[in-house]
Amino acid sequence: MHYIFNKGQKGKPIFLLLHGTGSDERGLLPLANMLDDSYGVLSVRGNVQENGMNRYFKRLSFGQYDLEDLNYRGQELLDFLQEISKSEGFDLKDLIPVGFSNGANITIHLLLREDVNIKRSILFAPLYPLDLTDNSKDMSNLKVFLSVGDNDPMVTLEDNEYVEQLFTSRGAKVTTVHVNGHEITTDAVEKAKTWLLNH
């Protein structure tokens, strides 16, 4: 996979940056610097192409995920993370996934896996409209920062509530901020920065 890695200051966590549709591994680097420029960075480009745009998994139509590909790409990403954690000498539990849109969605997929033990995550404009009846993962050790749009043209208020509920119902500690649209705002980033300091 195409990626950028910078270990950061010794003993500091590492941001796992997962971009939105159409971006690449450089897209969220300024965001990481705003959140904490002493942290390490592992920024990964999505391996799927949709009309020439990078994504992390295929979709059949908007809001309708290709579940087979989602599972395949989720495993592919986890395999990559396990390999690079060994070669670069860090622990996966020290990663803090920071995802926007499609990157936030693949992050949720990872966090729902029983074999992933990540403690903190920051998600901007997430959408995960899947039936999780069969998933009962204990997320009581997870803290999540959500930035959701009240007038997001791509994610409904019900979709926002569903994402929040999928975490809280599994015991995760969720902090939610509200923005207008499908975006990363300066105010939300400042609140995420404060959240990091307090968690």
pTM here is 0.97
The sign one gets for the Cα dihedral 67, 72, 76, 81 is positive
Q: Which residues are catalytic?
A: 101, 152, 182
Q: 190 CB contacts (<8 Å, ≥6 apart)?
A: none
pLDDT per residue as tens digits for the range 57-84: 999 887 789 999 999 999 999 999 999 9
Domains (ranges, CATH) in the chain?
A: 3-198 (3.40.50.1820)
Q: Is the dihedral of CA 106, 137, 166, 98 positive or negative?
A: negative
* Predicted local confidence at residue 61, as pLDDT: 82
Q: What is residue 12's predicted lDDT score, i.e. its pLDDT?
A: 95
Query: Which distant-in-sequence residues (6+ apart) come within 8 Å of 52 by Cβ?
Result: none
Neighbours of 182 (CB within 10 A): 18
Q: Read off the pLDDT of residues 140-193 as tens digits, 9 standing for 90 and up.
A: 999 999 999 999 999 999 999 999 999 999 999 999 999 999 999 999 999 999
- pLDDT (mean) for 104-114: 98
- pLDDT per residue over 18-59, tens digit each? 999 999 999 999 999 999 999 999 999 999 999 999 999 999
pLDDT of residue 128 exceeding 90 = yes
Average pLDDT, integer, range 100-128: 97
Q: What is the reported pLDDT for 63?
A: 75
Amino acid residing at 17 = L
For residue 18, the SS3 value is strand
pLDDT at 60: 87
With CA atoms as reference, report the closest residue to 55 among 85, 118, 99: 99
Picking from 39, 36, 8, 32, the residue whose alpha carbon sits closest to that of residue 18 is 32
Q: How far, rounded to the nearest angstrom, does the alpha carbon of residue 46 sit from its chain's CA centroid? A: 12
Rounded to the nearest integer, the mean pLDDT of the chain is 96
DSSP percent split of the chain into helix, strand, coil, nearest 5: 35, 25, 40
